[in-house]
Amino acid sequence: MAHSHQASTVLPAESLSQWTLTDPTSAHLHQIHGYARAGQNEETPIHFLHGNGFSALTLSGVAAGFPTTHSLILTDVPGHGGSDQPKHRMPDWQGMAASVTASLKQQLQAQNQSAAIGVGHSLGGVITLLAAARSPELFQRIILLDPVLFSPEIILAQQVMRATGVWKRSALVRSVSRRRNRWPDAEAMLAELSQKSLYKDWHPEVLQAFVDSASKDVDGERQLCCDPRWEGAIFGSYPRGLWHAVRSVKVPVDILVAENSYGFIAKSARRAARVNRHIQWHSFGRTHCFPMEQPQQTAEKIQQLLAQ
């Protein structure tokens, strides 16, 4: 595939239109928000879905690696970026998948397209898988970037922790829920995050896109769009029906597994490939955040898979 030479590593703002849709699956008339770039011909649109605590434009570095012939759709997961946080306290992964599916369907109709290629990172990978199992007609195929595929054992443990309330005391949930939420301004936020271990290896333009799109000005300060308590609650929850989706998904699935990530992901990816012939897994990327650290290489890898 020919590469269009772009000076920018992320999608330039002027190439994107923003969209907001009222989520028909929600009784609360939630808004789902995202970005789109119209393609120049009939190539299959590519839909990007980000991880927990991030925002649609954190994948704009990967998206920028695709030629302008492709339409691109980048969606903010409910409770992230410009998408409203669902009203219920417990994150419902199937509910988020339904919201994303409904908005994707409307976006595709607007572009006179019937199906997309789904690309999802982490939480966004699992939601993309749930969406493709639920609505196979909307996806030609899906590519999951280090998706948090909880093993059945982990899901069982999460269910017990949920039922007993112990989940609130888990170290990860506690540390995320207490995360710093506001800064004097966007520059201060960028300066602090660029020192933090999670973000320090991100491509600088991607980190800037995260600050621009995953935080907003509130009362003279810069505040995260995703409430850390919501992010923490997602970490403390689990996707109902995940392994049913793994077994039943009919579209081709490629899973990219990072070298240094959560141990359960590689195990679950291997298990998924064993139970469903439509699923393949590949080793790619250094850490769980490889789409933000290695955006161009990630885009090239996805295009290699699509060309096969």
pLDDT digits (tens, 9 = 90+) for 172-211: 777 777 788 999 999 999 999 999 999 999 999 999 999 9
**What's the CA gap between 34 and 13, in Å, rounded?**
13
pLDDT tier for residue 3 given thresholds of 50, 70 and 90: very low
Residue 2 has pLDDT above 50, yes or no: no
User: Can you give the pLDDT at residue 111?
Assistant: 87
Per-residue pLDDT, averaged over 216-244, amounts to: 93
Between 43 and 278, name the one with better pLDDT. Answer: 278
**What's the CA gap between 281 and 271, in Å, rounded?**
10
User: Can you give the pLDDT at residue 40?
Assistant: 80
Cα radius of gyration (the chain):
18
**What's the CA gap between 57 and 238, in Å, rounded?**
25
User: Can you give the pLDDT at residue 1?
Assistant: 41
Per-residue pLDDT, averaged over 238-246, amounts to: 94
Q: Choose the weakest-confidence range: 101-115, 243-257, 286-300.
A: 101-115
pLDDT tier for residue 7 given thresholds of 50, 70 and 90: low
Between 87 and 257, name the one with better pLDDT. Answer: 257
Per-residue pLDDT, averaged over 284-289, amounts to: 96
User: Can you give the pLDDT at residue 4?
Assistant: 43
User: Can you give the pLDDT at residue 217?
Assistant: 95
**What's the CA gap between 77 and 30, in Å, rounded?**
12
Mean of all residue pLDDT scores within the chain: 92
- Per-residue pLDDT tens over the stretch 151-176: 988 888 888 887 888 777 777 777 77
Per-residue pLDDT, averaged over 51-55, amounts to: 96
Give rounded-to-5 percent helix, strand, coil for the chain. 45, 20, 40
**67: amino acid identity, one letter:** P
Residue 251 has pLDDT above 90, yes or no: yes
Q: Is 146 left (phi over 0), alpha (psi -120 to 50) or beta?
A: left
User: Can you give the pLDDT at residue 39?
Assistant: 87
